[in-house]
Chains A and B, each alone.
Chain A
Amino acid sequence: MASLISRGLAQLKSKEMRDYLMRREKHFWGPVANWGLPLAAIADLKKDPEIISPKMTVALCFYSMLFMRFALQVKPKNRLLFACHFANECAQLMQLARFINYKYGTPQPMKQYQVPPSATKPPVPPVRTV
C-alpha cells in the first residue's frame, strides 16, 4: 500500500508530468479554460431561473455535442476536452429544463394586461361654456 502511494507521488513529480503541465500545451490548458463553462452552469443551478438565457443555453448544447465528437476525433485524442464538454452538455440540458419549467410550467403574471389607472377615474362631465 505504501509503495503504491509512493509510486503514485513519484509519477506526479516526474519530468513527464511537469512537461505535460508546464509546456505551452494547447491540449491541456485550452481544455482547462473550457472547464469554466460547465462549472459556471453548475453554480447557476442553484440560482434564480430568471437569469437563464434560452438562446445561449441551446447554443451551448449544440456546441458541446459537436465538440464531444471533435475531442475524440483529433489526433491525439483529448479525453479532458471530452469530459469537459460532456459535463457542459449535462449542465446545459439541466438549465434548459429549469428554464422551460419556469417559463411554461409555473403560472406567469400577465404583465401586459394591467388596467391603466386613468380608466378607474370617474368620467368628468363636460363644462358648458356657451
Chain B
Amino acid sequence: MLILSDLYRVAIRTGDRVLTPSMKKIVKWDHPAGMKYIHFWAPLMKWSLVAAGFGDMLRPANKLSLNQSISLFATGAIWSRYSMVIIPKNYMLFAVNIFLAFVGAQQLARIGHYRYTHPEAQAKN
C-alpha cells in the first residue's frame, strides 16, 4: 500500500543527500518556510481551492451552494488584506486569496443571475 507521507520523507532525504550546497542555496532548500516544512505546502494547497472553483464553472448554476460561495468570497477577501499587513508580507498568500475571492464572487454572480432569470424555480440552496 502506498503511504504518501513515507514517499514524501524519502524524497526529502534523497534531496538532502543528492543536492549540492550551491543548488540548495538556489532553491532555498533549508529555508524555514521551504519545501521541507508545512509553512510551504499548506498555503500551496490553497491553490487547489481555486482550481476546484474554476472546475465548478462547468456545473449548472442551480447546483451551486450559496453558503459556500459567500464564505469562500469572504475568506479570500479578508485574508488577501491580512497577507499584506503581516510582517513579512506574503505575496503568494495575497495572490491565492485574491483569486479565491474572484472565484467566490463569480459563483455568487452565477447564482444571482440564475435566481434573477428563473424566479419560478424553487431555490434548493
For chain B, which range describes its interface: under 10, 10 to 19, 20 to 34, or 35 or more residues? 20 to 34
CA distance A40 to B73 in the complex (A): 12
Q: How far is the CA of A80 from the CA of B98 in the complex (A)?
A: 23
Mask, A4-42, CB within 8 Å of B = 1, is: 000000000000000000001010011001101101110
B55: which A residues are within 8 A, CB to CB?
55
Q: Which residues of A contact B79 (CB under 8 A)?
A: 30, 33-34
Main secondary structure of the interface of A (DSSP, over half): helix
A41 touching B68, Cβ below 8 Å: yes
* Chain A 39-78 interface mask (CB, 8 Å, partner B; 1/0): 1110110011011110110111011001101100110000
Query: Can you list 29 A-B contacts with CB-CB less than 8 angstroms, sorted by A residue number?
Result: A26-B85, A29-B78, A29-B82, A30-B78, A30-B79, A34-B75, A37-B75, A40-B67, A40-B68, A41-B67, A47-B125, A51-B64, A51-B125, A53-B65, A55-B51, A55-B52, A55-B56, A56-B68, A59-B48, A59-B49, A59-B51, A63-B48, A66-B38, A69-B38, A69-B42, A70-B42, A73-B38, A73-B39, A74-B39
Residue of A nearest to B43 (CB): A70
Is the pair A40, B38 in contact by a Cβ cutoff of 8 Å?
Answer: no
- Answer whether residue B70 sits at the interface, using C-beta atoms and an 8 A cutoff: yes
Report which of B37, B53, B67, B74 forms a contact with A73, defined as CB distance below 8 A: B37
How many residues of chain A are within 8 Å of chain B by beta carbon? Answer: 32
Q: Closest Cβ of chain B: how far from A85's Cβ, in Å?
A: 10
Residues in A whose Cβ lies below 8 Å from that of B28: none
